Amino acid sequence: MASRDGGRAGGRAAAQLAAAALRGRCAIGARLDDRLCPVPRGDIGGGAADAGAERELRPRLDSPASWPARQASDVKTTALRRGRKAAAIGAALATATLALAGCSLAAPDSSSSPGGSGASAGGSVLSGTLSASGSTFQLTFQEVAISGFKSIQPGITVNYGGVGSGAGRADLAANKVNFAGSDSPIPPAEKAGFTGKKVLYFPVVTGPVTLSYHLSGVRELDLSAPVLAGIFDGKIKTWDDPAIEADNPGALLPVTPITLAVRSNSSGTTANFTKFLVEAAGSQWPLGTGSTISWPAGSRSATGNRGVAQIVKSTPGAIGYVDYATAKASGLTFASVKNKDGDYVAPSPASAALAASQVTLMPDETFSAVWAGGAGSYPITYQSWDLVYAKQPNANDAKMLRAYLGYLLGAGQELLPELGYAPLPSGIDRQAQTQLSKIGD
């Protein structure tokens, strides 16, 4: 890792203090990798929900003699194919894990860009309040980053409400907040609300969306896009459906009915999950993509990732799409998902980082890591931005925004692996920092 100057060291120390403070809030008996007890840097697995690096892309090599005869031929072919790829993919994930541990994906020296250390460009201490709302995917990161930022700028209070990406964008359009967290760009249907206003996109985090499920005795599960499309379209109704069995040769799947756990509010998680289904399942997914979806009758819905996680945790037979940090904190079990290269990959900060490294960055700082190629890339990796108006009502608001966003793009990036997220690729982070100077009054 490159050496840091005093400003960078101060930002890093504040990030470490924030993480330490968070760990100090852990309840007795809480899991080390819970939301309030972050995973040690570089840990891409851990806990019953994720059996570690070996689970990332481990071929199924159970004895063929124990499998139904009708599956034996297909299974043998699958095992051979996975065996040939396992070493290369494992190496790719190991490289990504080391990169996360060594901060090679973290932000560049924050002193080289405005606000990077959390202070204003002139180094002055600021005072005031920033209000924000939006993405629940960002919520854990925002909670910890706010604590770390407070040690650098004690005069600034930052309030963030995890109300969902759609509600956050609506709050920004109505001038109720200083910035909005959103897991997707402003959709065409909402653009009229921002007429005459220039919105800047600041990417702050990437990470995986898990397919978390509740099946007693089933600790490992592989799911492909067509099968997921069938499940969430309501065509596949029980866990022993032949389509699920085909993805999981040799597995003993129960006859349990499937219960869908989905979002009730306008959600970037929904938008990115359904974007994956559109791109990966094609015509087999008829419900389209968007922040809200008309889910099949009988689906159970809740607000936020935490709400969906609670449904999955309390409902035998349930499956839902939940961000990785929330799934880990809730102790959920999640599936490996078949990626663009044809391999089943478990969600983790490392596999998400590999996906994010494949993206093409647009001039406005938007990009999509969903269905990115590359060995070891997790296919439902998505990204989240903080949306800010370029023109602020006064100079103090502009300075506070530059300071806080600079912190998120600087020292704050070092918190992400411990919280179950993937840091931004350095090139994207660098470009995001350069546009901090566009925030003015």
Please write the tens of the pLDDT for every residue from 366-423: 999 999 999 899 999 989 999 999 999 999 999 999 999 999 999 999 999 999 999 9
Q: Which residues pair with 301 in a beta bridge?
A: 262
- C-alpha to C-alpha distances, 353 to 90, 198, 213, 367, nearest whole angstrom: 14, 30, 23, 14
381-389 and 199-213 beta bridge pairing: antiparallel
Q: Which amino acid is at 14?
A: A
On the question of pLDDT at 97 being above 60, the answer is: no
Contacts of residue 189, Cβ cutoff 8 Å, sequence gap at least 6 = none
Number of C-alpha atoms within 13 angstroms, CB side, residue 104?
A: 12
Rg (CA), the chain: 22
SS3 assignment for 126-175: CCEEEEEEECCCCHHHHHHHHHHHHHHCCCEEEEEEECCHHHHHHHHHCC
pLDDT confidence bin for 120, thresholds 50/70/90: very low
Q: Give the pair of three-digit tokens for residue 389.
A: 């108006």
Q: Give the pair of three-digit tokens for residue 188.
A: 């065409």
Fold of the domain spanning 6-25+105-206+383-438: D-Maltodextrin-Binding Protein; domain 2 (3.40.190)
On the question of pLDDT at 148 being above 60, the answer is: yes
Please write the tens of the pLDDT for every residue from 226-248: 999 999 999 999 999 999 999 99
Average pLDDT, rounded, for the chain? 80
pLDDT of residue 59: 33
CA 79 and chain centroid, separation: 30
Residues 423-432 have a mean pLDDT of 96
333-334 and 300-302 beta bridge pairing: unpaired
Same fold, 6-25+105-206+383-438 and 53-101+208-356: yes
Q: Which of 328, 274, 320 is nearest to 300 (CA)?
A: 320
Architecture of domain 53-101+208-356: 3-Layer(aba) Sandwich (3.40)
- Range with the poorest average pLDDT among 22-36, 129-143, 235-249: 22-36
> What are the domain boundaries of the chain?
6-25+105-206+383-438, 53-101+208-356
Residues 11-25 have a mean pLDDT of 42
CA separation for the pair 402, 115 (Å, rounded) = 5
Burial class of residue 291 (count of CB atoms within 10 Å of its CB; 0-12, 13-18, 19+): buried
Give the DSSP per-residue string, 91-124: HHHHHHHHHHHTTTTS---GGGSTTTTSS-TT--
